[in-house]
Amino acid sequence: MKSWLHSLLVAGSLLGWASMSFGQAAPKAQDDSGADAHVYKQVGGKDLQLYVFEPPNGDYKKPRGAVVVFHGGGWNQGSAEWAFWQARYFASLGMVGISVEYRLSDGKDVTPVEAVEDARAAIGWVRSHAGVLNIDPKKIAAYGESAGGHLAAAAGITEENASKEELNGVPNALVLFSPALNAGKNERFRKLLRPGQDVRSILPAEHIRNGMPSTIILTGELDTMPSPPTLVEYCDKMKQAHNRCELHIYPGVGHMLEATRGSGAGSDTAAKARYDAYLKADQFLMSLGYLPQGKKN
């Protein structure tokens, strides 16, 4: 699967990584990014938008797979623009890449609970407009990094007797980079909650059961949020419930596969880890049939 295209795209993605901190059916005109912007939800007088990146020279004869991307930023920082490069990357593989704007937490009017509501609404909007976007409604993956990984995974939570409307907002697969699946024990997360707020409904580890989205998790051996043992336990529980869960832990790197002080790992180690991680993500999506037939890196 390796090729010059994959190498170029992953190398270019490092620029986006370095800058990171811990509706209507008709689109607006394309912005400077080349994406079509759609309003997927209106709340508190604000339009929430998602940005759709089409694959270059795409085959429009049949519906495509899609990847809905949620940026990181500790639930209270960031923007959809942070994740444009990831959406473009998935579009380059022949899928539809979609970057989502969601409400940032202030600990008062907006908390991570509302952000998860936005994540589900965005996926539901994409599925409801699959015909317009020429997307296969059964091949919608959610991609998330750090806090965005938590939002993506939390969107996959359902009860056994979930309604059709609830299922509409559930992704079919998950690609998670250093996902904050231990959010309930994270101090930053807890500070963004309202006093006494019940957040069990958005903690993925509390709701593992059969029928959850197929999942791949990619993280660093030295990550502390989440720690590898937490993710090992999560993946084991997923498998015990007869769900597919792949976990790849990269030695010598930490959160978001970055080199950490005192680890002895340099930028080359981190770059190789990220390259391999995206390769594993590509293979995962290919195994599910999300990539166009014959589209390989």
Answer yes or no: is 295 within a domain. no
pLDDT given for residue 182 in this prediction: 87
Answer yes or no: is 296 within a domain. no
List pLDDT tens digits, range 165-212.
888 999 999 999 999 998 988 899 999 999 989 899 999 999 999 999
Tell me which residue of 77, 291, 111 sits closest to 197, measured CA to CA: 111
Q: Exposure pattern of 105-120 as b/e (b: 16+ CB <10 Å)?
A: bebeebbbbbbbbbbb
Answer yes or no: is 24 within a domain. yes
Contacts (Cβ under 8 Å, ≥6 apart) of 297: 1, 2, 3, 5, 6, 93, 279, 282
Model confidence pTM above 0.75? yes
Phi, psi of 238 (to 5 degrees): -60, -45
Phi, psi of 225 (to 5 degrees): -145, 85
Answer yes or no: is 85 within a domain. yes
Query: How many structural domains are present in the chain?
Result: 1
pLDDT given for residue 9 in this prediction: 46
Tell me the CATH number at 31: 3.40.50.1820
Give the orientation angle of helix 4-18 with respect to helix 267-287, to 10 degrees. 120
Which uninterrupted H or E stretch holds 217? strand 214-220
Answer yes or no: is 102 within a domain. yes
What domain range is 30 assigned to? 4-287
Q: SS3 for 293?
A: coil
Measured CA to CA, the distance from residue 173 to residue 285 in angstroms comes to 8
List pLDDT tens digits, range 242-264.
999 999 999 999 999 998 765 55
Answer yes or no: is 271 within a domain. yes
Answer yes or no: is 294 within a domain. no
pLDDT given for residue 262 in this prediction: 57
Contacts (Cβ under 8 Å, ≥6 apart) of 198: none
pLDDT given for residue 295 in this prediction: 53
Answer yes or no: is 13 within a domain. yes
Q: Which alpha helices (DSSP H) does 214-289 contain, by range?
A: 228-240, 267-287
Answer whether 118's CB lies under 8 Å from 73's CB: no
The residues of the chain scoring below 50 in pLDDT are 1-5, 7-30, 297
Q: Exposure pattern of 267-291 as b/e (b: 16+ CB <10 Å)?
A: eebbbebbbbbbebbbbbbbebebb
β-strand pairing of 46-53 with 96-100: antiparallel
